[in-house]
């Protein structure tokens, strides 16, 4: 976790398919609610598919003026999806009906997103462990067009897309502000990390 930083500039060098398989095979082992395992990975590892992703989510001018041009060199994009139906089906089984979660409206916390988020983190940590760089980024209002372009069933919910690649020399991999930072950090990454004390509420949550 201490080595984990988002990388936004990649080399275009390919990633061995076996390494991607290994990372995904580990990521599918995350815990899932009721062992529903409603996790799906859309893996784009062919240059044509990666290119179609970018042309689906960027206008030509938006792409030309985009701050992180090195992001477009990432050779692999993985979008992680949660399948709400897998959860409502699982929670309709006899041992789970007591929870009253057989319809998606009943879920105060959508566990398909909780589980898909854990899988997305597992993909990132596995990749970082192998020396790769990663960037998780949102699909925002492009979620529908990405789904349409790649045949993702409409009811799937995404936690976002992870770009994977070997980090470029210039990639920002150290803490913003540290002497090791070689590229200009983005506004988000320059926000200081909150300290632990401000986040931990021991025994009660005091009024701020």
Ligand X SMILES: Cc1cc2nc3c(=O)[nH]c(=O)nc-3n(C[C@H](O)[C@H](O)[C@H](O)COP(=O)(O)O)c2cc1C
In the complex, which residues of this chain contact ligand X (CB under 6 A)?
A: 5-6, 8, 136-138, 160, 186, 188-189
Indicate the residue among 110 and 186 with the shorter CB distance to ligand X: 186
Indicate the residue among 38 and 160 with the shorter CB distance to ligand X: 160
Residue 142 CB, nearest distance to ligand X (Å)? 11
Instruction: Show the tokens assigned to 52.
Output: 């179609």
Residue 48 CB, nearest distance to ligand X (Å)? 23
Pairing of strands 39-44, 133-137: unpaired
Sequence-ordered list of residues with C-beta below 8 angstroms from that of 1, at least 6 positions apart, any chain: 125
Residue 184 CB, nearest distance to ligand X (Å)? 13
Indicate the residue among 56 and 189 with the shorter CB distance to ligand X: 189
- Cα distance between residue 3 and residue 132, in whole Å: 11
Location of structure tokens 């938006």: 62
The answer to whether 116 and 157 have CB atoms below 8 angstroms apart is: yes
Residue 65 CB, nearest distance to ligand X (Å)? 15
- Cα distance between residue 23 and residue 2, in whole Å: 19
Indicate the residue among 54 and 137 with the shorter CB distance to ligand X: 137
């Amino acid at each position: 976790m201490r080595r984990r930083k988002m990388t936004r500039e990649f080399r275009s060098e390919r990633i061995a398919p076996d390494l991607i398989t290994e990372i995904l095979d580990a990521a599918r082992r995350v815990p899932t609610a009721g062992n529903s395992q409603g996790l799906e990975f859309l893996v784009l590892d062919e240059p044509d598919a990666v290119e179609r992703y970018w042309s689906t989510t960027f206008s030509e001018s938006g792409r030309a003026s985009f701050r992180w041009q090195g992001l477009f060199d990432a050779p692999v994009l993985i979008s992680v999806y949660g399948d709400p139906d897998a959860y409502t089906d699982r929670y309709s089984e006899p041992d789970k009906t007591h929870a009253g979660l057989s319809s998606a409206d009943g879920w105060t916390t959508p566990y398909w997103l909780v589980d898909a988020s854990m899988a997305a983190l597992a993909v990132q940590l596995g990749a970082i462990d192998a020396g790769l760089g990663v960037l998780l980024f949102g699909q925002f209002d492009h979620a529908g067009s990405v789904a349409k372009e790649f045949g993702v069933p409409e009811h799937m919910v995404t936690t976002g897309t992870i770009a994977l690649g070997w980090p470029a020399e210039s990639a920002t991999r150290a803490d913003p502000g540290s002497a090791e930072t070689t590229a200009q950090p983005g506004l988000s990454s320059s926000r200081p990390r909150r300290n632990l004390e401000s986040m931990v509420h021991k025994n009660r949550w005091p009024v701020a």
